[in-house]
Amino acid sequence: MLADLGIWTSEQDNMPIKDTWPYPKFVAHRGAGKIAPENTLSAMRLARSMGYSMVEFDVKLTNDDVLILLHDSSLARTTNGSGQAGDYSFAQLAQLDAGSWLGEAYAGETIPTLSAIAAYTIANSIASNIEIKATPGLETLTGTRVARQAKQDWANAEIPPLLSSFSEASLLAARLEAPGLPRGFISDELPENWLELMNRLECVSLHLRHSAVTQPVIQAVHQAGFRLAAWTVNEPQRAQQLLQWGADAIITDAIDRISPV
């Protein structure tokens, strides 16, 4: 089975599983999933209050080179703005309401900067998975900027941020800018060339949609010397199954139903 997944199984040729993985097994997706406004400080605070010690969030660039938390290129879904986030300055984006879409309790929530979230997570001993979510066409620039800012903001942190992306260009740029920061490649399915890709990008982890994760896949990834994170796992039974199979991290929206304690 391992051979079918592209792994050479001779014991003398196997790399050891990375033994420098300092991250918790439970990761709060976009801060607090769908319970608080995603990618906001309120989401990070809620995740912490529910026992999570690691959060995942999305980062992209404004048109004046400020790194902000936002998943979509469009502002429409999670703010009261319109158009593409990358077309605006941070000063303009900071005026938007990024919380009312989820409820009046979050009215006035703002789009945070990466540095603001760094300050909060570090002060509260929360590990960070920064997904590089570039505006199309800015993959390389965003990868460079995120890695540079993360290297600066987390310089004295006990646990370095894990940089992840679907974009090979973003991860290559991050590797060149900050080779000491760990990286993870995200994919919906297990790519046929996953082993070559992981080695070329010098990643430490493979982040797969949970429906693509099987026990043989986890074994193959470990056999090759990498870690595996499964996303987005929202059913407790599925989370338990994946952890029993050996998944190294579960990224979930369901922070109210999947407890890290």
Write the CB contacts of 42 (distance below 8 Å, at least 6 apart in sequence).
31, 32, 36, 99, 106, 109
For helices 114-123 and 41-49, give the axis angle rounded to 10 degrees: 20
Q: Residue with structure tokens 């607090």? A: 32
Verify whether residue 207 is a known catalytic residue.
Answer: no
Q: Exactly one of 29, 207, 210, 222 is catalytic; name it.
A: 29
For helices 215-223 and 236-245, give the axis angle rounded to 10 degrees: 40
Write the CB contacts of 2 (distance below 8 Å, at least 6 apart in sequence).
9, 216, 219, 220, 223
Query: Distance between CA atoms of 158 and 122, rounded to whole angstroms?
Result: 8
Q: Which residues are designated catalytic?
A: 29, 71
